[in-house]
Structure 1
Amino acid sequence: MATSDSGSPPTEAPVRNVVIFDVDEGGFATARRADLGRWLRRALDETLTDAGRTLADRNLAQVLKEETERAEMGNAGTYEGAPIAGFAVRTKITQADFSQEFNPAYTNFAGFDVSAECEYASCVKVTVDVYTVPELERVKDFRNQASGSKSEEVDTESDCREMDPRMLRRTSRDAMAGLRESLQNYFASPGHVLAAYDWNGPMRQGSCRLMISEDNHAPLFTGT
């Protein structure tokens, strides 16, 4: 589930532009070996693009990232360059675990031989922080985690894999997929009015508007 501080996304240009920093892999060797940062960055790019946002030039991200880190440290960092975006997004991997367990072959109570196997487990946790530009104020944070497991038959314990990069990548994408709806709801462009209806009656007076998002997804009904 996503958690947040407070604040709502602005709605004026250049807010449609978003700067996405390269994913911080948190110093985890497993994340580095599985190249999780690149996989998460790709998933985040797709999520925000589908929400109708324009991704700012990646070459500008490093300067903005340094200023954001200064702001986080309490040194009053601020972005003073040309207006390039309304938001900056920083993603960090806070856990990237992979474990294995060897189960030797045995004969069960019914007399059947059970092959040796290795059991694998993975867990990835991610946080996505949203900052306003140029203030570099953190206004929203999203958190999620995902886990995975599988087993395979082996001959000996030495046949167990030290790590399975593909399994970790799938787990990382599952963690980001769990945030997809929350992120898109936050960054979604405002809808436009398709039609309006008024009603009057002895008990109530008001109006109802039929709205639909810019990408023609499901309509929303709002009333007063």
Structure 2
Amino acid sequence: MFKKTAVAALVITSLSGCALMGGPEHVCTPDTRVDIPVAEVELKSTEDQRVIVLPVDMEFDDSAKKKLQSVVRNDLEAQIAGSGAKLVDRKLANKLKNEIKLAEQSGRYNTKGVPIADLAVLTEITASEFSKEYVEASSWVDDDGESHYIPPKCRFEVEVKAVAKIISLPGMELVKRMELEGDERTSTETRSSSCKFTTSQYASLASKAASESVQYNPELKKMLAPSSTVVELRTCEEGPMVKIAMGSDKNVSPGAEIAFSKHMKVDDEIETFGYGEGTVVNIPEHGIKKKYSWVAIDEKVATKVNKGDAVKIMPKACDSLLDLECQTQDLLGL
């Protein structure tokens, strides 16, 4: 893998030239509203969803076990909270862990009264692999005849692996199963080839790898991205645009890419069919309000859109150009 510093310039150069594409300058007025059919199936937005994150399982012994479990759970909860969904109280999640896990195995979950959540997140850390390497000193002479000396060093790396399952409640259907992987490395100059590494140093490195496994997983980001529904369609000289039921309250920003899909009932199951994308308009004061925003779409998508269709923010691979770990992984397709 390339070093972060080696790709930093390439990453920033490749991404800094990206800018919001030109879009409509005005929101279509109410008199340009177009009558559209109502969706066959209207699902909940993330604002209406309740998610329970169970304590993280880890079946093998490890000196950093509690810390790894805590990091993974905290980061999962942070991702879910960022999507706008409501988190079930952690104390209740701890209490219901065994009950929900047994229900997953049997395929049945008996609820009394109002269901505790719509989705449950079950996670297990399956590996935390530590490796070290001693690199001997080396020297070289550059083209100008100057000598350079590289002192001996020790390299340390931890790779953390986990499995996360998203389960629907109370039906106990598996919505998504994801492999989570993260790695973190460091190196130090040394005078000894034994490359000693303390328990606290290992815990720190492993924790960073565990956090990376959650934060940089594209499937998880997509699964937990804020979602809502289509409210209305308007079309005018600026082109077709739809109003969606999420805005600044879900951190919708100008230029955000929005995916549109229909949910249809087939026999006893709900199937999802994507049919296009759009871009949140960059119109100050009018394009994005607290509870809604406007999305520019093309004519082809406009002919397919229904009121109540699902819309979802397409998450960026990385939130910041300065996050070189994320930018490196995205650039290399990791």
TM over 0.5: yes
Matches within 5 A, 1:100-115: 100-104=132-136, 106=137, 108=139, 114-115=150-151
2:162 counterpart (126, 130, 134): 126
Q: 8 Å contact 2:51–2:85 — kept in the other structure?
A: yes
2:214 counterpart (154, 164, 176): 176
How many Å separate the matches in 2 of 1:143 and 1:78? 25
Count of residue correspondences:
206
Greater shift in the superposed pair: 49-58 or 107-116: 107-116
2:72 counterpart (36, 40, 44): 40
Q: Secondary structure at the match of 1:42?
A: helix
Q: 8 Å contact 2:68–2:207 — kept in the other structure?
A: yes
What residue in structure 2 maps to residue 186 of structure 1?
223
Matches within 5 A, 1:152-167: 152-158=188-194, 160-163=196-199, 164-167=202-205
Aligned CA distance change for structure 1 residues 55 and 182 (closer, same or farther; 3 Å): same
How many Å separate the matches in 2 of 1:31 and 1:96? 9
Shift of 1:54: 0.8
What residue in structure 2 maps to residue 23 of structure 1?
56
TM-score, length of structure 1 as denominator length: 0.75
How many Å separate the matches in 2 of 1:124 and 1:148? 9
Q: Secondary structure at the match of 1:157?
A: coil
How many Å separate the matches in 1 of 2:208 and 2:102? 33
Aligned CA distance change for structure 1 residues 142 and 177 (closer, same or farther; 3 Å): same
What is the RMSD computed on CA atoms of the aligned residues? Answer: 3.2
What residue in structure 1 maps to residue 317 of structure 2?
none
Amino acid at match of 1:189: S
How many Å separate the matches in 2 of 1:108 and 1:208? 63
How many Å separate the matches in 1 of 2:156 and 2:45? 48
Q: 8 Å contact 2:109–2:170 — kept in the other structure?
A: yes
Shift of 1:173: 1.2
Aligned CA distance change for structure 1 residues 126 and 13 (closer, same or farther; 3 Å): closer
Aligned CA distance change for structure 1 residues 36 and 107 (closer, same or farther; 3 Å): closer
Identity score, percent: 21
Output one character per residue of 1:79-121: Cα deviation in whole Å (capped at 9) or x when no partner.
32342211111122122111112235x4646687653321111
Amino acid at match of 1:175: S
How many Å separate the matches in 1 of 2:184 and 2:71? 16
Q: 8 Å contact 1:123–1:148 — kept in the other structure?
A: yes
Amino acid at match of 1:17: R
How many Å separate the matches in 1 of 2:80 and 2:112? 23
Shift of 1:196: 1.7
The alignment status of 1:51 with 2:80, answered yes or no, reads: no
Q: 8 Å contact 1:100–1:160 — kept in the other structure?
A: no
Shift of 1:122: 1.4
How many Å separate the matches in 2 of 1:193 and 1:102? 61
Segments of structure 2 that go 5 or more residues without pairing to the other structure are: 1-41, 142-146, 257-279, 281-294, 304-334
Aligned CA distance change for structure 1 residues 79 and 159 (closer, same or farther; 3 Å): same
How many Å separate the matches in 2 of 1:175 and 1:10? 29
Matches within 5 A, 1:21-100: 21-32=54-65, 35-73=67-105, 75-82=106-113, 83-100=115-132
TM-score, length of structure 2 as denominator length: 0.53
Q: Secondary structure at the match of 1:65?
A: helix
Shift of 1:170: 1.3
How many Å separate the matches in 2 of 1:67 and 1:172? 26
What residue in structure 1 maps to residue 234 of structure 2?
196
